[in-house]
Amino acid sequence: MKRVLVTGATGFSGTYLCGALASKGYRVLGTFLKRPRQDPDSYPILELDLKSYGDVLRVIRDFRPHFLVHLAAQSNSRRSWDLQDETFAVNVGGTLNLLNAVKQTGGQTRFLLASSVQVYGQIFHQPGPVREDGPVAPENPYAFSKRVAELACLDFFTRFGLDVVIARMANHLICIF
């Protein structure tokens, strides 16, 4: 049975993703920093502070995920101005901790980073499609931290051969309509 570790499992996206994966027969382990109102029935969740490398390494070693979906973040772009240190500690430091733990445990985990279209800056707000290879110009600490996390993932792919995928997620409401 394939094992999937989902960080940020109790957030909006994580809740739905974990439920869908569990219903398809994957063995899912979700992590959270803020306990949900109700624990899910179909998969276990555990508290994990991504800023603690030792804790991250322990979870990766114990669970040995085939796939890691990294959704956890300080994702409020407005609050990122007031929480710059926390935003970078979680979004960049947490990503680096996960990448290093995957590398240290053999690097056999496919790693998906949930980034953000905010890395494009103003171009995202202009009419017409945004090209994936278009210029990036982050305009707030959240967007900048996501871009730095992307660069860390690319570095681990290039230098260590880690299987990394980066998805620049858009506002989920846009996807519904």
DSSP state of 161: -
Q: How far apart are CA 94 and CA 70, in angstroms?
A: 9
Order of strands across the sheet that contains 164-169: 45-47, 27-32, 3-7, 67-70, 110-116, 164-169
Q: How far apart are CA 26 and CA 2, in angstroms?
A: 5
pLDDT for the residue 40:
78
Q: Say which CATH number the domain at 148 has.
A: 3.40.50.720
Show Cβ contacts of residue 47 under 8 Å, excluding neighbours closer than 6 positions: 31, 32, 33, 35
- The percent of residues above 90 in pLDDT, for the chain, comes to 76
Side chain identity, residue 68: L
**176 pLDDT exceeds 60?**
no
Side chain identity, residue 19: G
pLDDT for the residue 39:
75
Q: Which two tokens stand for residue 88?
A: 């970078």
Q: Which two tokens stand for residue 13?
A: 């996206």
DSSP 3-state of 11: coil
Q: What range defines the domain where residue 159 resides?
A: 3-176
**37 pLDDT exceeds 50?**
yes
Q: Which two tokens stand for residue 2?
A: 């394939």
Q: How far apart are CA 65 and CA 58, in angstroms?
A: 12
Q: Are strands 3-7 and 67-70 parallel, antiparallel or unpaired?
A: parallel
Q: Which two tokens stand for residue 106?
A: 């053999």
pLDDT for the residue 174:
38
Residues 118-143 have pLDDT tens digits of 999 987 677 878 788 888 999 999 99
Q: How far apart are CA 140 and CA 156, in angstroms?
A: 25
pTM of the model: 0.93
Residues 71-99 have pLDDT tens digits of 999 999 999 999 999 999 999 999 999 99
Q: Which pLDDT band holds residue 172 (cuts at 50, 70, 90)? A: low
Side chain identity, residue 157: F
pLDDT for the residue 124:
67
Residues 150-171 have pLDDT tens digits of 999 999 999 999 999 999 988 6
Q: Which pLDDT band holds residue 173 (cuts at 50, 70, 90)? A: very low
Residue labelled with tokens 């570790």: 5
Domain count, the chain: 1
A 10 A CB-CB count for 143 gives: 24
Q: How far apart are CA 71 and CA 14, in angstroms?
A: 7
